[in-house]
Amino acid sequence: MKKSLLVLSLILAVVFAACNKKEESVNRDVKAQEEQDPKKEEIYNVDLGTAVFRGPQDAPVTVINFSDFQCPFSKRSVDLMEGLLKKYNGKVRYVFKHFPLSFHKWGKPASYAAIAAQNQGKFWEYYAKLYTDVKTISEETIVNYAKELKLDMDKFNEDRISPETAKKVQDDITQGSLFGVRGTPTLFINGVRIVGANSAKIEETIVKQIAAGEQLKAKGVKDPYTEIVKNGKTKFIPPKREAPAVSQDVYKVEVPSHAPVWGAEDALVTLVLFDDFECPFCARLYGTYEQLKKDYEGRIRIAFVNLPLGFHKKAKDAAYAAAAAHKQGKFWEVYSFLFTRQKEWNRVADFKEWLESKKEELPVEWEQFQKDMESKAVENIVAEDIKAAGSLGVRGTPASFVNGRFISGALPVDSFKKVIDEELKKAEGKGLKGDALYREIIKDGKPAVAKANGNRGEKEDPDKIYSVKLSGNEAVKGAKDPKVTIIEFSDFQCPFCSKAFATLESVAGKYKNEVRVVYKNMPLGFHKEAKPAALFAHAVKRLYGDEKFFALASVLYAKQGEWKTDTEEKFAGYAKEIGADWTKVKAEMARPETEKAVTEDINEAGRHNLRSVPAFFVNGKKVSGAKPAEVFESMIESIIKGEKK
C-alpha cells in the first residue's frame, strides 16, 4: 500500500500542474489520485449559463475551462486548447469560466477587464492578449490592451468596475467551488472533471467524448452536452478520509470547580478542553467543537480549561477576558467572539485596547468586566488552570480529553465523533449519568500523559515499538531494502534540528547500504517561517524528487539564521541554488496537496504525542532530541547484529 501511494504521488507531481487556492481547512483537501482515477470517472452537470464560448453550440464535445488570467498553468491549458480547437475543428465547443485565485493580485482585475471587453464584442481578442504573458499583467497592461483593441475606453473603464461585472465573476467562482474547483485550470469535458494542465489526459478525454457525442448526434440528438450531463452530479463531494485512531487509555482529568461547562448535567460523555485563544490550531478546533455541540446536544458536556502558552503574547490577556466573562455567565459567548475574531486581534499591538474598541459588541457589563479582567481572582483562575495542565502533563494546545481519552491537536470532526460514539455505547450499560458517570470512568485513570516530550507523568517504555504511519509523500534517502528505517520529525527553523539533521546525514552516509531515512515535517507554531519552509521543501520534493529535497534541506538548515527575514526572496535564491524553478515551486507550495502532506505529518506527530523536535523512530523505537551520532550508530549496529544472529 505504501509503495502504491509513493508511486501515485510521484506520478501526480509530474502531471498535476495547476495554480491552487491556499486553504486553512485540511477537510477540504482532495486526494489527487481519487480525482483523476479513470476507473472512478464521474460526470458533472455544469450549467453553461451565459458564459462566453467558441465553436458550434451542437458540437459533440463541450469543454468548460475554469481559469485564472494570472496563472501560468491556466495559460498552458489555454495554449493547449488553441491547438485542439484547430485540430478538431468544428467538433469542440470551448467555454470559458472565470476563477481568479485570491493570491493572484491581478486575477480579478483581469477578469473584470475581460468582461468589459466582452461587452464590446472583443472578449476572445482581449483574452488572447492577457494570456500572451501572464507575468506582466498590471493596471498598465490591462488599459493598454483595451486601447490596442480600440475599445471605447470610457465604457471599458465603467464596465470593469460595475457591480454587474463583479457579480458575473463571483457567480463563476461560486459555481466552480460547488464543483470542487480548488485551483486552476480545472476543466470539465462533457462533464468529466480534469484538474491541471495535463495535456495528454485532456486530449485523450476530448477524443473519447467526441466519439460519444457523435454517436448521439447520429441518433438525432441536437445537443449532445445536455444529453450527456443530464443525470450528472450537481456538486463535487470530496472522498471521506479515515479518522486517525485514538488510544483507549483513560487519564484522570479532574474538571476544575471554576471551569465553564456547556451541555447537559446528565450527559454520558464529558469533554475537557485545554485551549489557548491565540493558538491557530485551537481556532481551527473551535469549528469542530461547535459542530459537536449541534450533533450531540443533550448527550455531551464540555468543560473549558485555559492553557495560554508562553510564546503567545496576547493569550493570557485573552484568557483573563474569557474568565472575566464567565463571572457574568457569558463565557461561551466571549469564547466564540475571541475565536471568530482571532485573526483580527492577533494583528493589533494592544489586545486590551482592541477589546475596548469592541465593547459595544460584547455581551457583558463593561465596567465590571474590566475590573474582573484585572482582578487577582481571575489571575488565580488562569494560574490554577495552567497548573492543572502541567500536573496532567499537557504542554501544548489544543488538547482534548473525551471521557478521559486523550486527543492531541485539531483532528478532524470525524475523529472526535468516533471516540464520542464509542464512549456513548460504553456508557449505556453503566446505569450512571453526568458527573457520577464521569468520576466512575476516570477513577482509575492514568495520572498524566506519557513523558514523551519532557512532560511529567509516567515514564515511557524505552523498548516500546511505535507504528508510525507513512503516507507515501515523504522524502526518502538511503537503502532500497533497508535493515534499519529511521523516521525523522523535524522543523527547518529549529537549531537543534539543524544539528540533528547533520548528524543523521553523516550516519546515513556511513550505513548507506543498511539504512533508509524518511523525513517528516513538524513545523512548530512559534517558529513563524517553519511551515513556509516545510511547504517549500515538500514542493521541491513533489516537483524534483528526493535528491533535490535533501539538497534543499541541507541549504535551509545551513542558512537557518538567514531566511528569517525576506523569506520569499531567500527561498527564490535557494531554489536557484539547487537548480529548481522558483515560479513552479511557488505555485506548488500553494496547492492544497502540498499543505495536506505537511498537515498529515503534523497530525501523525500528534498521534504519537510528539511535542518537540527533533524526534526519531529507529525501526519504531523513539529517540528524542539531538543525540550524538554514537547513539544512532549503536542502535543500528545492534539491529544489524541481531539480524545476523
Confidence of residue 224 (pLDDT cuts 50, 70, 90): very high
Is the pLDDT confidence value at 21 over 60? Answer: no
The pLDDT tens digits for 304-332 are: 999 998 888 899 999 999 999 999 999 99
CA dist., res. 547 & res. 544, Å (int): 8
CA dist., res. 347 & res. 72, Å (int): 32
- Whether the CB-CB separation of 149 and 126 falls below 8 Å is answered with yes
Angle in degrees, 0-180, between the axes of helices 315-327 and 331-340, rounded to the nearest 10: 150
Confidence of residue 27 (pLDDT cuts 50, 70, 90): very low
The mean pLDDT of 10-30, rounded to a whole number, is: 41
- What ranges do the domains of the chain cover? 2-229, 261-445, 475-644
The mean pLDDT of 146-166, rounded to a whole number, is: 96
Q: What pLDDT is attached to residue 322?
A: 97
Q: Which amino acid is at 425?
A: K
Confidence of residue 5 (pLDDT cuts 50, 70, 90): very low
Confidence of residue 586 (pLDDT cuts 50, 70, 90): very high
Exposure string of 178-210, with b = 16+ CB inside 10 Å and e = fewer, is ebbbbbbbbbbbbbbbbbbbbbebbbebbebbb
Confidence of residue 41 (pLDDT cuts 50, 70, 90): confident
CA dist., res. 226 & res. 145, Å (int): 36
pLDDT > 90: percent of the chain: 73
Q: What pLDDT is attached to residue 628?
A: 86
CA dist., res. 535 & res. 71, Å (int): 19
Strands 300-306 and 405-408: unpaired
Q: What pLDDT is attached to residue 15?
A: 38
Nearest residue to 488 (alpha-carbon basis) of 205, 477, 480, 544: 477
pTM of the model: 0.44
Cell 507523568 -> residue: 457
261-445 under CATH 3.90.1010.10, yes or no: no
What three-state secondary structure class fits 187? strand
The pLDDT tens digits for 174-215 are: 999 999 998 899 999 999 999 988 899 999 999 999 999 999
The pLDDT tens digits for 345-356 are: 998 999 999 999
The mean pLDDT of 477-501, rounded to a whole number, is: 93
2-229 under CATH 3.40.50.1000, yes or no: no
The pLDDT tens digits for 594-642 are: 988 998 999 888 888 888 899 999 999 999 888 888 889 999 998 988 7
CA dist., res. 304 & res. 399, Å (int): 11
C-alpha cell at 139: 493596471
Q: What pLDDT is attached to residue 24?
A: 32
Is the pLDDT confidence value at 241 over 70? Answer: no
Backbone torsions φ then ψ of 439, nearest 5 degrees: -65, -35
CA dist., res. 75 & res. 67, Å (int): 9
The mean pLDDT of 423-452, rounded to a whole number, is: 87
C-alpha cell at 643: 539480524
Mean pLDDT over each residue of the chain, to the nearest integer? 89
Q: What pLDDT is attached to residue 640?
A: 87
What three-state secondary structure class fits 309? coil
CA dist., res. 548 & res. 13, Å (int): 14
Find residue 95's DSSP bridge partners: 53, 64
Q: What pLDDT is attached to residue 20?
A: 57
Find residue 65's DSSP bridge partners: 96, 187
CA dist., res. 206 & res. 192, Å (int): 10
Is the pLDDT confidence value at 142 over 90? Answer: yes
Q: What pLDDT is attached to residue 157?
A: 96
Check the CA dihedral 371-377-381-382 and report its sign.
Answer: positive
Q: What pLDDT is attached to residue 311?
A: 81
Confidence of residue 12 (pLDDT cuts 50, 70, 90): very low
Sequence-distant (6+) residues with CB within 8 A of 473 are 5, 6, 9, 538, 541, 542, 597, 600
Which CATH number is correct for 475-644, 2.40.10.120, 3.40.50.300, 3.40.30.10, 3.40.50.1220?
A: 3.40.30.10
CA dist., res. 218 & res. 213, Å (int): 9
Give the count of beta carbons closer than 10 Å to the beta carbon of residue 612. 20
Q: What pLDDT is attached to residue 629?
A: 86
Q: What pLDDT is attached to residue 606?
A: 85
Is the pLDDT confidence value at 30 over 50? Answer: no
Measured in whole angstroms, how far is the alpha carbon of residue 472 from the centre of its chain?
Answer: 17
